[in-house]
Amino acid sequence: MTDYVIDYFLSFLVFCDPMRRILTLVLLTTFFACHAHPKRTRPRVALLMKSLANDFFRTMEAGARQHQRHDQSYELISNGIKDDQDVGKQINLVEQIVAMGVDALVLAPADSKALISVVKRAQAAGVVVVNIDNRLDPQVLRAKGMRVPYVGPNNRKGAALAAAVVTDQLQPGDKVALIEGLPTAANARERKSGFEDAIGSAKLKIVTSQAGNWDMGKANQITTAMITAHPDLKAIFCANDNMALGAISALRSAGKMGKIAVVGFDNIAAIAPLIEQGEVAATVDQHGGQLAVYGIEYALAMLQRQAPRTDKETPVSLIVQSARRDAHE
């Protein structure tokens, strides 16, 4: 329609007298003013998460939306993938978000390496990128000459804090097991290292360590096999609460509740009653409702050139049963 109108007016200008040409130009200018896309006055920030089937990321999204409702200085777009392992889908979502013309992207990558190339393309398009939750691989970033600030918790330190709640109660040589997250995710590797730090300090024996890929069902299957192969197991350290729920379900089915300690990470809503009942010894709250907000606020500051492209560590809190907490206060 716009092209038709322009062609009509231009052809009319060739044959009309000077006064009509002036009037036609005025009308053409008015037409453009009425049909031009309105200029955005607020920056558009996209939040792209991992699996929205995970309660942690639903909490993250809710926190971001609440923040935007109270801070109307920016527009918020949020999305996530169905499965934590659907890296290709997340890469496609980044490309779609960049094509929408966003000003900033706050990204919780499903894979620490695979997302880096598309992040580089986003930066080349002028998009400010802030990395949250799962750190993009620093070596790959350096090799590509990129700087992407990581705004998030120290996963290794948090995991060590939670594991120590159990390891301090065990004897040297006691057998323990790990259920890791997705091997290609930096936060999974960092949490494994944190568990190993506490286990090493207590001189415990890791009899098996397997990847549960953040999945409750897979963790349930792994736990069933673990306790069959190692009936004298004393503790299972899970790299997230979803997998801790899977482990607890397997222990219940095997009649092992109370005999094997379980540790998680994330402090999702479903884990809280299990902590209070003593079925889960500890978890770590990385404040999921605030984590995206930290990233959004950092991205807005970068857009205003008020923040450097440097990492920022966010807080973690150890969550244990109230009675245990009170006994140590």
Q: What is the pLDDT of residue 307?
A: 75
> What does the pLDDT read at residue 323?
54
Q: Count the domains in the chain.
A: 3
* pLDDT tens-digit series, residues 258-274: 999 999 999 999 999 99
Q: What is the DSSP string of 141-204?
A: HHHTT----EEE--HHHHHHHHHHHHHTTS-TT-EEEEEE--TT-HHHHHHHHHHHHHHHHTT-
Spatial CB neighbours of 65, under 8 Å, sequence gap ≥ 6 = 76, 78
pLDDT at 139 over 50: yes
Residue 6 has pLDDT above 60, yes or no: no
Percent of the chain with pLDDT over 90: 82
Regarding whether 146 and 295 lie in a shared domain, the answer is: yes
Q: What is the mean pLDDT of residues 288-304?
A: 95
Q: Which domain holds residue 21?
A: 2-35
In a domain, 324, yes or no: no
CATH code assigned at 77 = 3.40.50.2300
- Both 181 and 147 in a single domain? no
The pLDDT of residue 271 is 97
Widest pairwise Cα distance in the chain: 100
**Domain membership flag for residue 24:** yes
Q: How confident is the model over 84-88, as a mean pLDDT?
A: 92
* Averaged pLDDT of the chain: 90
Q: Residue 105: pLDDT above 80? A: yes
Min mean pLDDT across 23-37, 167-181, 245-259 is at 23-37
The token pair at 2 is: 């716009």
Check whether residue 193 and residue 274 sit in a common domain.
Answer: yes
Distance, in Å, from the CA atom of 128 to the CA atom of 105, rounded to the nearest integer, reads 6
The verdict on 125 and 201 lying in the same domain is no
pLDDT in tens, 192-234: 999 999 999 999 999 999 999 999 999 999 999 999 999 999 9
Q: Which class for 218: exposed (0-12), middle (13-18), buried (19 or more C-beta within 10 A)?
A: middle
Q: How confident is the model at residue 14 (pLDDT cuts 50, 70, 90)?
A: very low
What CA–CA distance (Å, rounded) separates 62 from 46? 14
In this structure, the answer to whether residues 173 and 125 fall within a common structural domain is no
* Whole-angstrom distance, CA of residue 273 vs CA of residue 124: 46
Residue 326 in domain: no
The pLDDT-based confidence of 9 (bands split at 50, 70, 90) is very low
Residue 322 has pLDDT above 90, yes or no: no
- Confidence tier at 127 by pLDDT (50, 70, 90): very high
305 CB-near residues (< 8 Å, 6+ apart): none
Per-residue pLDDT tens digits for 20-64 = 545 554 554 554 445 444 456 899 999 999 999 999 999 999 999
Q: Which of 184, 281, 197, 181 is nearest to 239 (CA)?
A: 181
Would you state the pLDDT for residue 28?
47
148 and 182 share one domain: no
Tell me, yes or no, if the pTM score tops 0.85: no
